[in-house]
């Protein structure tokens, strides 16, 4: 018969730089959302149904003229870095898959999942703050008259339920919430992905995830009457599965050994390979056939170099490193609250004839305030959940990693 092991579950080894990677990734995403209202959406981030011809898409990369050299460098550097910030979304997918799997392999590669505990932990992590975001923007949008919406709008109820994969809800309230809809789907299938990883092993799991991703993206781009951009971003989770599976596989390979992860990016040839993958993926993203596999090349490169930057260089800048770590711990709150606030502010700011440098300084100051406010709201929601009677309705679940079942 099957007997449940009574051995204690090992404490998950901590990677102290992982929060700083999250912080740098959310900072890049915010920069992307700041760059869009100023310079427009770049053609190479995701394919779109209104794509012009290739020469026009490439011409978007030409530097913008400015009134002086300093403004020229500042504006174009900000534009290029901001446009590349969208690639940090893939970094979050890798980190999410890695973190969930790291807790399991630290127990054992044969560990089982307590699904009830797992889904309750994900629910408490995502939904209370997500619902608070709906209420916040219901008031904020009406007060600022920034795209106000009605609570009677059917999309509002669908969004509250987490059904962000519906095209009419995908960009509703806050366009950045498409990522929350994607991560909800990936969390829902994670226990089954874990079982697939256990049965298939690392190589076959990665190959299967890559094939499923490429096939689903190809079907969406060439066979289905869907919005290419939505499909590419993650309207349906298989289109981004390979990036999530990459993080799962890395945690599986390391098997809870911190030194394996710490030494992974040391070889120079691997760093050169990641740079080549990123450049090739970026070039392929300018064409529709290339966009089928581009994220599977861009994301490993972006993840590797953000990790190298945070792990090996930024610790020497102690204040910046600590700030990014704090931002990373509240990255979900920033994801929920930042975009409509920043866009409403920028729309109100841009009619005034202010120098570019002053505008960027003002945007930077508001962004810092948004970061602080998002962290405060996230902490506030978590505090409310710990008060009676909510702490009785939603008790904190235990670990979801169970030791392997043993045959007695």
pLDDT tens, residue by residue, 180-193: 999 999 999 999 99
Q: How far apart are CA 46 and CA 284, in angstroms?
A: 11
Show the tokens assigned to 226: 């869907």
Per the DSSP assignment, residues forming a β-bridge with 2 are 407
Average pLDDT over residues 302-312: 93
Sequence-distant (6+) residues with CB within 8 A of 93 are 182, 183, 186, 240, 243, 244, 246, 247, 299
Nearest to residue 201, comparing CAs of 127, 126, 255? 255
User: From CA 271, how far away is CA 266, in angstroms rounded?
Assistant: 8
The candidate with the shortest Cα–Cα distance to 167, out of 235, 117, 69, is: 235
Q: What would the two tokens of residue 280 be?
A: 């090739």
- Residue 10: band (very low, low, confident or very high) from pLDDT cuts 50, 70, 90: low
Every domain of the chain and the residues it spans:
17-401
Q: Which residue has the tokens 């966009």?
A: 291
**pLDDT tens digits, 337-384:** 999 999 999 988 877 778 877 888 899 999 999 999 999 999 999 999
Q: What does the mean pLDDT of the chain come to?
A: 92
Percent of the chain with pLDDT over 90: 80
Cα(26)–Cα(22) distance, integer angstroms? 6
pLDDT, mean of residues 77-88:
95
Whole-model pTM: value is 0.94
Say if CB 282 and CB 294 are below 8 A apart.
yes
The CA-based diameter of the chain, rounded to the nearest angstrom, is 79
């Amino acid at each position: 018969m099957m007997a449940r092991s009574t051995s204690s579950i090992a404490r998950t080894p901590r990677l102290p730089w992982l929060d700083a990677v999250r912080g740098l990734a959310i900072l890049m995403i915010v920069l992307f959302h700041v760059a869009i209202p100023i310079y427009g959406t770049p053609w190479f981030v995701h394919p779109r149904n209104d794509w012009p011809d290739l020469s026009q898409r490439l011409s978007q990369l030409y530097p913008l003229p400015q009134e002086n050299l300093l403004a020229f460098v500042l504006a174009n550097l900000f534009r290029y870095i901001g446009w590349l910030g969208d690639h940090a979304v893939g970094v979050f997918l890798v980190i999410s898959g890695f973190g969930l799997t790291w807790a399991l392999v630290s127990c054992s590669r044969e560990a089982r999942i307590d699904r009830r505990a797992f889904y309750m932990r994900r629910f408490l992590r995502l939904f209370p703050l997500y619902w608070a975001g709906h209420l916040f923007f219901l008031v904020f949008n009406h007060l600022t008259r920034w795209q106000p919406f009605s609570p009677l709008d059917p999309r509002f109820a669908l969004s509250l339920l987490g059904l962000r994969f519906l095209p009419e809800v995908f960009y509703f309230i806050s366009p950045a919430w498409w990522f929350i809809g994607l991560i909800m789907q990936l969390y829902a299938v994670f226990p089954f992905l874990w079982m697939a990883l256990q049965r298939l092993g690392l190589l076959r799991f990665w190959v299967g995830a890559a094939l499923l991703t490429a096939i689903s993206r190809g079907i969406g781009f060439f066979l289905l009457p869907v919005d290419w951009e939505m499909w590419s971003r993650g309207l349906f989770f298989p289109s981004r599965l390979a990036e999530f599976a990459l993080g799962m596989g890395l945690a599986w390979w390391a098997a809870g050994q911190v030194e394996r992860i710490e030494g992974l990016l040391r070889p120079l040839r691997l760093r050169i390979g990641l740079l080549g993958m990123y450049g090739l993926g970026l070039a392929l993203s300018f064409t529709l056939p290339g966009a089928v596999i581009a994220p599977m090349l861009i994301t490993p490169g972006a993840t590797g170099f953000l990790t190298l930057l945070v792990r090996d260089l930024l610790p020497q800048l102690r204040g910046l490193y600590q700030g990014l770590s704090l931002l990373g711990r509240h990255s979900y709150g920033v994801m929920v609250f930042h975009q409509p606030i920043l866009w409403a502010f920028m729309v109100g700011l841009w009619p005034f004839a202010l120098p570019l440098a002053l505008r960027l300084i003002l945007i930077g100051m508001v962004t810092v305030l948004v970061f602080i406010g998002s962290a405060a709201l996230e902490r506030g929601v978590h505090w409310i959940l710990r008060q009676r009677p909510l702490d009785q309705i939603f008790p904190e679940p235990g670990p979801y990693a169970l030791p392997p079942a043993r045959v007695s």
